[in-house]
Structure formats: C-alpha cells, structure tokens
Structure 1
Amino acid sequence: MRLNAAPDVAPLPPPPAQVRPIDHILLRGEPTRPALDGRAGHMDFAEMEATLGHLAAWLAGFGLAPGDRVASWIAKGPVAALMPMAAPRAGLVHVPINPLLKRAQVAHILADSGARLLIATDARLESLHDDDVPGDCERHSESDTACAMTGGPSLPPSGAAPDALAAILYTSGSTGRPKGVMLSHANLWLGAVSVAHYLRMAAEDRTLCVLPFSFDYGQNQLFSTWYAGGCVVPLDYLTPRDVIKSIERRRVTTLAGVPPLWVQLVELDWPPEVAAQLRRLTNSGGALTPALVSKLRTLFPQADLYPMYGLTEAFRSTYLPPALVDMHPDSMGAAIPFAEILVVRPDGAVTDDDEPGELVHCGPLVAQGYWRDPARTAERFRPAPPASTYGGTAVWSGDMVRRSAEDLLYFVGRNDAMIKSAGNRISPNEIEDAALAVRGVAQAVALGVPDERLGAAVRLLLRTDSGVDPAALETDVRAHLKQELPNFMQPRDIRFVTHFPVNANGKLDRAAILADHPA
C-alpha cells in the first residue's frame, strides 16, 4: 500500500514541473520583502540575490574544475546562508561542516570529500594542523569571504541540470565514520517545494534557524522559507533563553527543533505574548513523546505542531498534520508530497496493518548515494520494492515502523537498536514512552546491556524534573511499567543522570550514552 500525503494538503504538480536549480530560490521572493534578518544585519530578496551573484563569482575566480568541492566551517550569518546556493551557481559542490565538530572530524570530512577550498572562521582555521587539510585545498577566512561578496563581478543564475550534484551533507557519525550524502539540485528544490507546501508557509512568515545548516533539516529551513517568499533569522544560540529573546525581537512565526531542544524550551517561563507569536512548530530528528506533545500544545496553543520523520538519505519522509496531533500524538504521520513510503517485510512484500516492517522511501527525494563509498551505498540504496509506483532506487531506512488501519505510521525502533532479550525483540522507544508517562520524568533512554541469562537486559536511564526525589520516582516508574508493559520489557535496573549527551545536530547520541553505561 502506498501512503499518500495527508488529505488536508492539496496535491502538487508532478516533480519535473517543479524543479529549478537551487540557486534560483531567491528569485521567488518579492524583491523588496525581507529575506534575511539577524545579528549580522538584514537584506531583502533583491539584495540577497545580488550578494549571491558576487559570492558565486568570487568562488568561480579560483579556477576550480566543475564539480570540485568547497567546504565551509563557519558561523550562521550571510555567508553561511548563501554558500549552499553560491557554490552550485559557480559549478561547485558545497560541503557544509557542522560548527560543533572537532578537528579530527573536520579533517576526515575534508579528506573524504576531497575539498579544494575551505572557508572557515579565523579561530577554526587556527585549530587545524597542516596535515588536517589536503595539500591542494586552499584556506580562506570567513571575514575575507564576507568582504568579497559585497561587490565586484557577479554570476547570473545557473542553468544546472536537475540531477547535477549540488551538495554533500555528512551524517553526524554517531556510529562509524561520517558518511557524505550526495544531494542533487532536484533533491534540494523539491524538498523546499514539499515542505513549504505542507507547512502552508507564506511570505509573511519568519523562520528562526537554530539548527545547523550542515543538517538537512536545518538547511531546508532556508530553502523552504525562501521558496514561500519568507524571511530567515539565523541564530547561533548559547542558551535556550536566547531562543525566546530572538523570537520576540525578530517577530518569528516558525520554529524548527529536535526533541532535546524542545525538552529545554518547555522548561522555561515563556511570556504569553512571545509564545503567541509562533504560528507553527516543526519537529524531526527523533520522535516527540505524548507527554512532550502535551506540553508544547499547552505552552503554544496558537501554533500548529508538525511532528515529522526524515533521514538525510531521503531528506524527509513523513509528517503528521496538526489536526491529527491530539488524537495521534505518537504517530509519524503519512508521506510528504513527492515521497512514496512503503512498510515492508524482509522479502520486500508490503506488511499488513499494524505489522512491524522496515520503512522504505521511494521517489525523487531519494539522494544519489554516499560520496565515494559504493559498498555502503549498496547497503542502503537498493531497488525499490515491487509495490513501488516510482520504482528505481529507494532508501531502505533500517527503521522499523508499523502502519495503522488509518494509514498512519508509528515508529517501532531501529533495526540495529532493538534490544534482543530472552528471544524477544524489544523496542527501546516503547519502554521510554511508558516511563515518560510518569509525572516527574523529564527524559528517558532504554538500553540493552549484556546479561548472561537473557543475552541482553534492559537498563533504563532517567533524567528527572527539577525538585523530584529519584528514589520515590523510581518506585512510581517501576509500578507504572509493571502495569503497562509485559515482564520481558521490565528494566533490570534504573539509573538517574543529570543530562544526556547529544550529537552535533542536537539529537540524542545513543552511542555515547551506551558507552557511558555499558554494563
């Protein structure tokens, strides 16, 4: 069965009618409307387009070959906002590097991508050793780049083919080496069209960009907002309170986040008039729990809430329309426009309703594979299941989900994260959701740890709300889990932590958590 976009969203024309080179995105905005607003100043769409032309010409002036890679390791601001379009306009491929990464990770990305040019802040350039940077890779400061794009020669919009490579986005690398996901102009453009459409974005919207632009979710905030003719507000925040201040000062209407950020934000005191400014909240990078959904709905009653699911290899797969959130708070929703989502058994056959299976994403949002890594590409990018309408290459996500009779998807767990205990396959998310239903639990992570008798036992890690007594809470949690879950899902032990580590994209780093609590 094919899962179509939610019925409250009108259908879009077929993808070929929608595709433009990604550097054309600013041409959609009214020239005098604001396109960028932040600490580094503001520009309207005409000024942004002119600046983009200068930056692209400066990049082209290095004489690199078409398709050469340009890496950026910079703070949010005009340069970071324009680089994803300037490099492709110059015939180059952009490789954004998360500012939170360290020297060794950056060195791997530079070497793996074969970057010929690196643009970074002065401090980040100084942190690199000579052998961290390929010998044929030039280094330039962000400040020099910002000066170069204020005038001089200009490049017009490109005529790039839809399937031309535009960007390589590196996964966070919580397990193994980071992989470079290859994205075409069509991938980026159709992602912008799809998201702007189902979020119902308009020219009056202002998006606070708190997520890294190296993260596909974060980068799409730029493209989808500009596609709708709206304004982006980049923010490198130090504390969650900086988010509240920016929403107030910049008249923000749209905020995208990941679960660890929402957990922090709902614990703050929001002035009612500031919370009321927000028209929509979007979530990806991990499932929202029913308890967190309830807190968000209470704190932001006037904002539409969009739970979403995606993976870098296919950008975005599903979303849950706001009208369904209260009735189905733990659902991933259904397919976004231009995505075909199938739930299949190991043999590729489509599952029955409520039968767990692997989520397979088909259609034009599927990336082109992993950069210079045919072996891992063959593992994840495989022929679409026979039931696919699109056919061709699909992304086999490795995520286990189930489809309800109402055609809504529910996350079960990662194939590689399932806890196998005494012959039972246990989803950590099911245990975590049950624990989070207990008053006083702020966050929960379930792990599988070695056990001689069971093979693996469940360890439950909890972070409490402020002022909660851990001993009393453990009693309450155990009582609730015994009532809600079968015996084989009961945790062998419960431990309390003060915080959970997150990766460079702000998502819970389960590999690091497991390393801290191995046995």
Structure 2
Amino acid sequence: MEPAGPLLKGYHDYEEIVSQSPAEVTAEPLTDENLAAELFYTSGTTGHPKGVILSHRTLYLHALNVIASLRFMDEDNLLHVVPLFHVNGWGTPHTLTAVGGKHVMLRKIVPPDILRLIQEERITRIFAVPAVFIALLACPQREAYDLSTLKQAFIGGAPSSLTLITRIEEAFGCRAIVGYGLTETSPVISYACPKDNMRDWQVSQRRAYQVRTGTEIIGTQIRVLNHKGEDVASNDEEVGEIAIRSNVVMTGYYKDPEATQKAIRDGWFYSGDLATINQEGCLRIVDRSKDIIISGGENISSAEVENALYSHPAVLECAVIGVPDEQWGEVPVAMVVCKPGTQTTEAELIQHVHGQLAHFKCPKT
C-alpha cells in the first residue's frame, strides 16, 4: 500500500509494526477448526448490526471453493478496491494468499489511482461494486492507461445492469461478470462465468447471462423458495427467497440466538434476497425483500426499474425508491445523475422506462 503522508495522531504505521516484530512466530496449534476465526458486522436492511461468526473451517472451505470455481492462480494480481471490512473484500485475502497471488492494496477510491495501479502492477482481476466501475468509466484520463493485463472485472455488492457489463467489456477489454454472496456466507456463493457450451453464443446473449446472479459455486446448494417453503418453478418468472446450504454458511450471529434461529432453519440459511431461477439453475436477483415497492397491491422491483433506466444513453447513475402515496400506498420515484455532456428530461426518462416495463412500474417522478 502506498503511503498517505504523515500519520495522524493516534494512528500507527503498519510497516513499522511489522519491522519490529520477531522474525520467528510460534503459532498455537488449532485444536478445533469450528472455533470462531473472524467476526464481521452486518446490518443489511434489518436495522441494528449483527455480528456474523465465521469459523476457521468455514473460511478455508470458502477459499477452496472459490479457487476451484473462479480458477485463481499464482499469476493473479488482484487490486483490493473494496475495503477488507466490506463483504466484497474479506473472502479474497484467504483465497488469493492460498494460491500465492499478489495483493495490491488501495488506500482510497480515486479513479486515476486505480487505473494507474492496474497499469503499474499488471492487475489481472478487480472486484468492485457498480458505483466504482461507473466512476472508472467516467474518468477522463482512462484512455491514457494500459489496462491490457486485466482479465476479469467481478461485480458485486449491488445489482448490476446489462449496460454496465457491456461498457466495462468494451472499455477495459476484459470479461465482466456478476457474483453474489452475503456476509453470512463468507461471502461468495454464486457467479455468472460463461460456460464452455456458450462459446458460440452471440456477444449480446453471453452478456445477458453474465449480468445474472449466476449458478452456485462448488460446495454450495441454492434453492429459491416461495412463502410456503416450496421450490418455485424453474421458469425465470416466479419469485421466491434465496436459501443456501453450505459449509461456508456462518456459525451464527454473535450473542443473538433468536436471530440465528430465524435465519437458519432446517439447515438452510434464508438470505432475504428475492430471485427467480431458470431451467439451468441460474439465478436472477429481483430485489431485497425489504426493498420491494408495493403499489396498489402490485410488487415492483427497484432493481428492475433501475436497470431499465441504466439502458438510457444519458444515465450515469440512478436509484429508485418507494415514497408514500395516498391512492396507491407507495409509488416508485427515481433519482438520476446524467453523464457529463448529456441532457435528458423527466418525461423522456419515464417514456424510456415505459417502453420496457409495465406502466405501473414506471417512476412517477
């Protein structure tokens, strides 16, 4: 990690601490692999943060699962764009270290610094949330950097769009895929890497697959269940809650047995995420159950409306929320940031969404 200038009061220099440590460290032998190894706090959409207990066994099995599924190798150089305390960041240290790859740390998210490090450190993989990739694509200096070593852009942490997948692949010349995971699952449990049988697919067809939530990684079982606890039809239309069974699922919530019992039932972890599933077992996230907008008795996925907005050429970023309405209970409202040098109108954006979705799903403003 590059220095960030003089240390602030109360802070310590990592390199100095390491240099003062003894060369030989005697580690106590691990007598029980199920002992807690890490504790991460998550709030999701449910309010107060809950401590997620991940055991030694959970962490090393997750690393092995991801290595086998995503084909990590010792030649990989990975740029940690996401902080290690974030769900997108903490699984990677075990995975990449296990294969002998190189970690490149980032002190602060500054698009030109990210692009420079990709060039200087010959980065092969980058994991980031959609907002970071949007910022990189909008960076005026982007074309000045050589990004040819980049093989994979892994998008997670928030819903992505087909437009974003397309722009990343065209601008960076690498494969862009979506992955899915949670704090409670160490985190990665599914990914949308194209399969060998998709080599002859049209580019647009392949990208439409890559923007999905994907199929389960090795060592993980995933079901999509309706409110009765039954599997939904594999028609990519019926919506249900994602449930996961795997050795990478948390031990439980720290000092919260009630929340643990509510989340893990009959050996399955209930994620709170809503999705559909197709005949090939490929997931498509619809929304968080708490983020569904209910308007006039109809369920509206904020992510679906956002994806429709992202397909407009002037939209850089957007967010859709539900606001109270006396007639309909809730209605969707969109907040949009335009790309530099572009213009659009409220009426034009609403009409654009109306061309893709049912009328009741369109933002009112």
Give the TM-score of the pair, scaled to structure 1: 0.64
Q: Is the 8 A contact 2:296 2:329 kept in 1?
A: yes
C-alpha distance in structure 2 between counterparts of 1:160 and 1:236, whole Å: 36
**1:173 positional shift:** 6.0
| Residues 83-94 of structure 1: pairs in structure 2 closer than 5 A | none
Counterpart of 1:128? none
| Residues 126-205 of structure 1: pairs in structure 2 closer than 5 A | 141=12, 146-147=17-18, 150-151=21-22, 154-156=25-27, 158-171=29-42, 175-205=46-76
Q: Which moved more, 1:420-429 or 1:473-482?
A: 473-482
Q: 1:335 aligns with which of 205, 212, 216?
A: 216
| Counterparts in 2 of 1:244 and 1:318: CA distance versus 1, 3 Å | same
| Residues 452-471 of structure 1: pairs in structure 2 closer than 5 A | 452-469=326-343
| Residue identity opposite 2:166 in structure 1 | S
C-alpha distance in structure 1 between counterparts of 2:286 and 2:45, whole Å: 20
Q: Is the 8 A contact 2:293 2:302 kept in 1?
A: yes
| Counterparts in 2 of 1:419 and 1:238: CA distance versus 1, 3 Å | closer
Counterpart of 1:413? 287
DSSP 3-state at the match of 1:219:
coil
C-alpha distance in structure 2 between counterparts of 1:247 and 1:378, whole Å: 44
**1:239 positional shift:** 1.2
| Counterparts in 2 of 1:156 and 1:406: CA distance versus 1, 3 Å | same
DSSP 3-state at the match of 2:252:
coil
C-alpha distance in structure 1 between counterparts of 2:25 and 2:158, whole Å: 41
Q: Is the counterpart of residue 263 in structure 1 residue 134 in structure 2? A: yes
Q: Is the counterpart of residue 370 in structure 1 residue 253 in structure 2? A: yes
Q: Is the 8 A contact 2:315 2:339 kept in 1?
A: yes
Counterpart of 2:262? 379
DSSP 3-state at the match of 2:304:
helix
- 1:225-254 CA-to-partner distances (Å, cap 9, x unmatched) read 112221111111241111111112222211
| Counterparts in 2 of 1:462 and 1:188: CA distance versus 1, 3 Å | same
Q: Report percent identity of matched pairs.
A: 27
C-alpha distance in structure 1 between counterparts of 2:346 and 2:306, whole Å: 14
C-alpha distance in structure 2 between counterparts of 1:419 and 1:124, whole Å: 45
| Residue identity opposite 2:150 in structure 1 | L
Counterpart of 2:244? 361
Q: Is the 8 A contact 1:275 1:299 kept in 2?
A: no
Counterpart of 1:436? 310
C-alpha distance in structure 2 between counterparts of 1:410 and 1:366, whole Å: 21
C-alpha distance in structure 1 between counterparts of 2:89 and 2:17, whole Å: 21
Counterpart of 1:479? 351
Q: Is the counterpart of residue 220 in structure 1 residue 91 in structure 2? A: yes
**1:350 positional shift:** 0.8
RMSD of the TM alignment (CA)?
A: 2.2
Counterpart of 1:295? 167
C-alpha distance in structure 2 between counterparts of 1:306 and 1:482, whole Å: 28
Q: 1:312 aligns with which of 183, 207, 228?
A: 183
**1:183 positional shift:** 0.2
**1:449 positional shift:** 0.5
Counterpart of 1:403? 277
Counterpart of 2:201? none
**1:147 positional shift:** 4.8
**1:337 positional shift:** 1.1
Counterpart of 1:350? 231
C-alpha distance in structure 2 between counterparts of 1:213 and 1:160, whole Å: 27
| Residues 495-506 of structure 1: pairs in structure 2 closer than 5 A | none
Aligned residues: 350
Q: Is the 8 A contact 2:177 2:211 kept in 1?
A: no
Q: 1:447 aligns with which of 321, 329, 340?
A: 321
Q: Which moved more, 1:274-283 or 1:256-265?
A: 274-283
DSSP 3-state at the match of 1:167:
strand
Q: Specify every segment of 5 or more residues in structure 2 that has no aligned partner in the other structure, as ranges.
A: 199-205
Q: Specify every segment of 5 or more residues in structure 1 that has no aligned partner in the other structure, as ranges.
A: 1-37, 41-74, 76-120, 126-140, 384-392, 494-519
Give the TM-score of the pair, scaled to structure 2: 0.89
- Higher radius of gyration, 1 or 2: 1
**1:433 positional shift:** 1.0
C-alpha distance in structure 2 between counterparts of 1:215 and 1:481, whole Å: 33
Q: Is the 8 A contact 1:438 1:476 kept in 2?
A: no
